[in-house]
């Protein structure tokens, strides 16, 4: 069901609790990459301009349920104040009398950032009493943290039992619309491009997409488990022996459903990821003492041809060890092929985004998801607690 959106809430004079994903990398006490902060700025600006007082909350890192100075959100507050061009004061905690007092004193157009939610073990435990304390800080709830929507945590799921209505923020709304466009009535052909190291990480996604797509192109380390399942000797390439039957079943299911699974026909091999160079060989020619670390040029051409004919593309996972220069060419070439396609493209996952950025085509993707795990789980057809908890649109 469509969810209530921030734009449908009467915000004037209200205190709104906005759960964002401000989990950004820090370096020397400052924000090293503010992409997630910039992604939530439109939601914050909308609420503030509408006359709301904003109580902003997030987690940062894994402090294991207790205060840890290195995981404080203070650097985030400093960077947000620059992005919003207004003060973003910090509460000393996310609950407690002092925090409650600061929240209740907020005036329309003002914002308060709570300290790291994960300084309390009750957050990840989805504790009801903790959620009730958070809910007491505001009059309504907005979730703009799609990247954390697959977590049943107190500030994401339990809080909505006590604070209604619960609406989707502008970023959450864009994520749901873009991913929903893939799963429901996409322009066809729909092609999935999947990479990454392990079949075990993506097999549920493969199985779910078989009923949605016309073709799946598989690269990265996970491709070698499929190739081994077909009887290929892949040398020392990454293979999950306990997933060979799973891979065979997926290939058979694809055949029955007339879905093409396109696997590499060549690969760039070397003795290991630290090798200074690699060479392209056919899949049947992988030396016993070497491993495949990138898709080869023939595979790049085949993948690019497939993508050229697509109307919708979803991409998750690099197609080789692209962090290493000798094994980056395949992933970067395919990233450019996605960008050059006339298809509506959606990409997600940190490595995928990094690869598109390195290829210089990130701004040419149709939609770039801020999520990793939630992106995959949504595409697997799983119910996300953070989405399920939101109020249905009228």
Residue pair 3/42 in contact (Cβ under 8 Å)? The answer is no
Alpha helices for 244-390 (secondary structure H): 244-256, 297-308, 329-340, 350-358, 373-379, 385-388
- Rounded to whole angstroms, how far apart are CA atoms 143 and 108? 19
In this structure, what token pair is assigned to residue 293? 């670390």
- For the question of residue 14 being annotated catalytic, the response is no
Please enumerate in sequence order all residues whose Cβ is within 8 A of that of 214, keeping only pairs 6 or more positions apart, or say none: 188, 189, 190, 191, 259, 260
SS (H, E, C) 112-150: EECCCHHHCHHHHCCCHHHHHHHHCCCCEEEECCHHHCC
d(CA 134, CA 163): 9
> Is residue 212 flagged as an active site residue?
no
Classify strands 291-295 and 266-270 as parallel, antiparallel or unpaired: antiparallel
**What is the largest distance, in Å, between two alpha-carbon atoms of the chain?**
70
Catalytic option among 181, 198, 236, 364? 198
Q: Does the active-site annotation cover 349?
A: no
Would you state the torsion angle of the CA atoms of residues 198, 184, 350, 74, taken in this order, to the nearest 10 degrees?
-130
Do residues 352 and 315 make contact, with C-beta atoms less than 8 angstroms apart? yes
- Of the candidates 15, 19, 36, 302, the residue annotated as catalytic is 36
- Residue 150: asked if its preceding bond is cis (omega within 30°), the reply is no
Q: What is the per-residue DSSP string for 250-289? A: HHHHHHHTT-EEE--SEEEEESSTT-S--EEEEGGG--TT
What's the half-sphere exposure (Cβ side, CA atoms, 13 Å) at 115? 21
Which residue out of 61, 373, 381, 382 is catalytically annotated? 373
Residues acting as catalytic residues = 36, 198, 350, 373
């Amino acid at each position: 069901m469509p969810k209530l959106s921030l734009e449908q809430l009467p915000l004037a004079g209200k205190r709104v609790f906005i759960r964002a994903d401000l989990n950004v990398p820090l370096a020397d006490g400052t924000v090293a990459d503010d992409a997630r902060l910039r992604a939530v700025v439109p939601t914050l600006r909308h609420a503030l301009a509408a006359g709301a007082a904003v109580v902003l909350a997030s987690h940062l890192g894994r402090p294991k349920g207790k205060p840890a100075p290195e995981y404080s959100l203070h650097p985030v507050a400093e960077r947000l104040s620059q992005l919003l061009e207004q003060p973003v004061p910090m509460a000393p905690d996310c609950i407690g009398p002092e925090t409650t007092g600061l929240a209740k004193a907020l005036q329309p157009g003002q914002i308060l950032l709570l300290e790291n939610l994960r300084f309390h073990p009750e957050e990840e435990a989805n504790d009801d009493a903790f959620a009730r304390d958070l809910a007491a800080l505001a009059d309504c709830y907005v979730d703009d943290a799609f990247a954390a929507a697959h977590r049943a945590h107190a500030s994401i799921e339990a809080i909505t039992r006590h604070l209604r209505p619960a609406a989707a923020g502008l970023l959450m709304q864009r994520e749901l619309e873009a991913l929903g466009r893939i799963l429901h009535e996409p322009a066809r052909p729909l092609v999935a491009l999947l990479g990454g190291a392990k079949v075990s990480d993506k097999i549920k996604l493969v199985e779910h997409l078989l009923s949605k797509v016309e073709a799946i192109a598989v690269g990265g380390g996970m491709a070698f488990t499929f190739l081994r399942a077909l009887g290929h000797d892949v040398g020392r390439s990454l293979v999950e022996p306990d997933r060979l039957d799973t891979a065979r079943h997926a290939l058979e299911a694809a055949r029955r459903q007339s879905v093409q699974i396109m696997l590499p026909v060549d690969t760039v091999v070397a003795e290991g990821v630290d090798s200074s160079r690699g060479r392209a060989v056919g899949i049947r020619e992988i030396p016993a003492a070497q491993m495949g670390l990138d898709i080869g040029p023939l595979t790049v051409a085949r993948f690019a041809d497939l993508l050229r004919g697509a109307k919708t593309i979803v991409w998750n996972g690099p197609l080789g060890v692209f962090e290493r220069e000798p094994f980056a060419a395949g992933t970067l070439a395919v990233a450019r092929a996605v960008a050059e396609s006339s298809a509506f493209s959606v990409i997600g996952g940190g490595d995928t985004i990094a690869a598109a950025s390195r290829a210089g085509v990130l701004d040419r993707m149709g939609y770039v998801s801020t999520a990793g795990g939630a992106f995959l789980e949504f595409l697997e057809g799983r119910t996300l607690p953070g989405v399920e908890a939101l109020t249905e649109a009228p």
